[in-house]
């Protein structure tokens, strides 16, 4: 199973697919450009389908996390 890691020595600490320098952000941007999983796998042969799905799942979990109160407060102030 694919693993998403963060390491300040790899891609400035952005989440990447373990064993690569391919960021979750990069995978999401490719999908947003309507590339298919097959297209991505052709362009990045070191990846597997499970890696792409892990990147999407990681992003979904990050977005679903509730924001800390301090961040919500700053958003509220900024959006007034």
Give the CA-trace dihedral at 16, 59, 43, 17, to 10 degrees: 20
For 73, the token pair is 């407060």
CB neighbours of residue 64 within 10 Å: 7
Contact 47, 40 (CB under 8 A): yes
Mean pLDDT for 26-43 is 98
4-78, which class in CATH? mainly alpha
Q: What is the mean pLDDT of residues 39-62?
A: 96
Q: Is the pLDDT of residue 35 over 90?
A: yes
Sequence ranges of the domains in the chain: 4-78
Q: pTM to 2 decimals?
A: 0.78
Kindly state the average pLDDT of the residues 28-40: 98
């Amino acid at each position: 199973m694919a693993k998403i890691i963060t390491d300040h020595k790899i891609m400035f600490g952005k989440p990447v697919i373990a064993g690569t320098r391919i960021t979750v952000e990069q995978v999401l941007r490719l999908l947003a450009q309507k590339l298919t999983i097959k297209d991505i796998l052709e362009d990045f042969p070191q990846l597997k389908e499970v890696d792409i799905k892990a990147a999407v799942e990681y992003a979904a979990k990050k977005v679903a996390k509730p924001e800390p109160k301090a961040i919500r407060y700053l958003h509220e102030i900024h959006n007034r």
